[in-house]
């Protein structure tokens, strides 16, 4: 039998899928899961792998006073995104480094959000563009859009995985299993949304939080509240924003709550055209709003400022009637994937973040503007503090920084951005800095602070944070740096045998606060 005849006989003996003598392969009707090629980290694409590693590879020695778990979360596509969608819309993927006695166990799990479960059951993407319900499949109308991809905090024995367009998603702190896909504080949450950046007052045991666009898409209502350590809401009040936009982080002191309204404006018209939720409107001012904790929303005061972009608070405190809020602040839009409304090209220089102190003296009844002071020359984003000092006077902070005086590794070729090559420790008491530089071929993500001991002085301990190794396809390491010896390099490095997804934020939980196994 000739080859041709043999093939024909095979086809005839097959499923009967013959059309005019030609065999036709059964079709998946376009539902094949295939991710478009990406330039991200050498085209590696999304991570998507849920895994466990017992006893990770460790270089150096992890001090045994580090006992607890480092959690991180970031977006990681579950299914191929709609054309033009942005990284901020990937499904929340959480990883945990459990560190004890110099050993590290690693675990990573997707948050089982309502959205994740619906898409998993359908085996395809059902949600369209970032925070744009107009682009969703009709079948998901009543399913939460929350991706749980932005921040993860420990509260009331639960890991809360957070996305600012929806209520928290609760994960078990030891197994990372999702135990509640829509957490509403015993049903007491009056907002449809919850920020990714609640604050903790360790003196009162409260979590202070808020939700914006709280009454539905593009609503100008913001719910501000605090909850006790058992998850019951103890104070709440409503405020209105001067314009609707990304209210990403906020500031809480012993006395005040403050918001910075920046021109990353919510744009329903563009959403209806199939675009993402926000566009940068450079014609808008910034507004700094201050309210007393426990107060009534009608007493909120707004102070005006010029066009600025500031997303995260390092720390905040009040002295008498004066409020200080430290943020990483840039002149213009810092997010290249959120378009400029008036057609200006993205300006990387104007997007550089500088630690800036916003202040206002609330005893003055006639002032209309807030004050700004640039504190340091370093540029970066994602500042953090020793979280034990949230709401209290503080003087130590940390930020991933890009030291432009350091060389670029020539083997990296042309990168769209300079890698984040350092962690800087800032001491506001002396306005001095120290720096951990990771070298010319790695890019650092946000770091979390680990106190050296429960009663260690402010900022005395370690930074933990992950780095992508850019000459190894983005392979991921956890680096551990002593905050008293930043220049000495990592005391230990935990090597993962793969490239993980990029993190947005992370959280440290000491072993003393974790449930027992």
Nearer to ligand V55, 278 or 376 (CB): 278
Number of CB atoms found within 10 A of residue 184's CB: 16
In the bound complex, what is the minimum distance in angstroms from residue 142's beta carbon to ligand V55? 22
Residue of the chain from 171, 504, 507, 509 that contacts ligand V55 (CB under 6 A)? 504
Token reading at 218: 């593009």
Site for ligand V55 in 239-298 (CB under 6 A): 248
In the bound complex, what is the minimum distance in angstroms from residue 193's beta carbon to ligand V55? 11
User: Angle CA(497)–CA(503)–CA(509) in degrees, nearest 5?
Assistant: 90
Distances (CA, A) of 475 to 427, 489, 491: 32, 19, 19
Nearer to ligand V55, 350 or 456 (CB): 350
Nearer to ligand V55, 92 or 305 (CB): 92
Mark residues 27-66: x for contact with ligand V55 by CB under 6 A, - for none: ----------------------------------------
Residue of the chain from 68, 75, 81, 461 that contacts ligand V55 (CB under 6 A)? 75
In the bound complex, what is the minimum distance in angstroms from residue 205's beta carbon to ligand V55? 27
149 lies in the site for ligand V55, by CB under 6 A? yes
Nearer to ligand V55, 149 or 445 (CB): 149
d(Cα 406, Cα 421) in Å, to the nearest integer?
8
In the bound complex, which residue of the shown chain has the CB atom lying closest to ligand V55? Answer: 88
- H or E stretch covering 12: helix 3-12
Nearer to ligand V55, 149 or 209 (CB): 149
Number of CB atoms found within 10 A of residue 264's CB: 22
Q: What is the dihedral of CA 210, 205, 156, 400, to 10 degrees?
A: 60
In the bound complex, what is the minimum distance in angstroms from residue 108's beta carbon to ligand V55? 17
Mark residues 293-332: x for contact with ligand V55 by CB under 6 A, - for none: ------------------x---------------------
Residue of the chain from 70, 71, 88, 280 that contacts ligand V55 (CB under 6 A)? 88
Measuring CA to CA, which residue among 131, 111, 113, 25 is closest to residue 71? 111
Site for ligand V55 in 152-211 (CB under 6 A): 164
Q: What is the three-class DSSP state of 442?
A: strand
Token reading at 123: 């085996």
Nearer to ligand V55, 193 or 483 (CB): 193
* Site size for ligand V55 (CB under 6 A): 8
Q: Answer for the pair 509, 448: CB distance below 8 angstroms, yes or no.
A: no
Distances (CA, A) of 420 to 4, 352, 401, 413, 444: 59, 12, 6, 16, 5
- H or E stretch covering 5: helix 3-12
Nearer to ligand V55, 75 or 490 (CB): 75
d(Cα 346, Cα 308) in Å, to the nearest integer?
14
Could you list the residues that contact ligand V55 (CB under 6 A)? 75, 88, 149-150, 164, 248, 311, 504
């Amino acid at each position: 039998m000739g080859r041709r005849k043999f093939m024909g006989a095979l086809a005839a003996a097959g499923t009967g899928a013959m059309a005019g003598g030609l065999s036709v392969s059964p079709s998946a009707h376009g539902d094949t899961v295939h991710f478009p090629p990406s330039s991200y980290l050498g085209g590696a694409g999304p991570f998507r792998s849920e895994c466990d590693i017992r006893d990770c590879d460790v270089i150096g020695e992890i001090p045994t006073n580090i006992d607890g778990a480092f959690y991180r979360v970031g977006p990681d596509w579950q299914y191929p995104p709609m054309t033009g969608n942005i990284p901020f819309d990937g499904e929340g993927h959480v990883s945990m480094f459990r560190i004890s006695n110099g050993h590290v166990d690693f675990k990573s799990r997707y948050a089982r959000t309502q959205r994740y479960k619906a898409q998993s059951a359908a085996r395809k993407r059902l949600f369209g563009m970032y925070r744009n319900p107009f682009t969703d499949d009709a079948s998901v109308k009543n399913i939460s859009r929350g991706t749980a991809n932005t921040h993860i905090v420990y509260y009331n024995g639960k890991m809360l995985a957070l996305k600012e367009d929806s209520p928290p998603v609760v994960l078990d702190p030891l197994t990372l299993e999702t135990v509640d896909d829509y957490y509403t504080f015993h049903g007491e949450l009056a907002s449809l949304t919850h920020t990714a950046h609640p604050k903790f007052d360790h003196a009162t045991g409260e979590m202070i939080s808020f939700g914006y666009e709280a009454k539905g898409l593009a609503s100008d209502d913001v719910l501000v509240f605090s909850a006790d350590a058992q998850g019951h809401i103890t104070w709440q009040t409503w405020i209105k924003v001067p314009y609707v936009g990304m209210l990403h982080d906020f500031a809480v002191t012993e006395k005040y709550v403050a918001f910075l309204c920046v021109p990353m404006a919510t744009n329903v018209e563009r959403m209806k055209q199939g675009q993402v939720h926000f566009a940068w409107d450079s014609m808008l001012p910034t507004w700094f709003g201050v309210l007393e904790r426990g107060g009534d929303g009608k007493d909120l005061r707004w102070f005006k400022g010029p066009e600025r972009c500031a997303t995260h608070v390092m720390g905040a405190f009040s002295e008498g009637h004066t409020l200080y809020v430290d943020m990483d602040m840039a002149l213009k839009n810092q997010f290249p994937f959120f378009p400029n409304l008036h057609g200006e090209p993205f300006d990387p220089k104007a997007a550089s973040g500088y630690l800036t102190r916003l202040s206002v003296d609330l005893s003055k009844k006639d002032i209309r503007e807030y004050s700004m002071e640039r504190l340091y020359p370093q540029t970066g984003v994602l500042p953090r503090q020793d979280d034990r000092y949230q709401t209290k006077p503080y003087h130590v902070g940390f930020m991933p920084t890009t030291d432009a005086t350091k060389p670029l590794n020539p083997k990296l070729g042309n990168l769209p951005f300079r890698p984040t090559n350092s962690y800087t420790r800032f001491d506001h008491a002396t306005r001095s800095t120290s720096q951990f530089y990771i070298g010319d071929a790695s890019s650092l993500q946000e770091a979390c602070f680990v106190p050296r001991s429960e009663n260690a002085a402010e900022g005395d301990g370690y930074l933990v944070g992950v780095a992508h190794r850019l000459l190894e396809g983005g392979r991921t390491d956890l680096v551990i740096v002593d905050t008293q010896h930043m220049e000495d390099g990592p005391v230990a490095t935990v090597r993962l045998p793969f490239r993980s997804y990029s993190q947005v934020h992370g959280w440290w939980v000491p072993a003393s606060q974790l449930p027992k196994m």
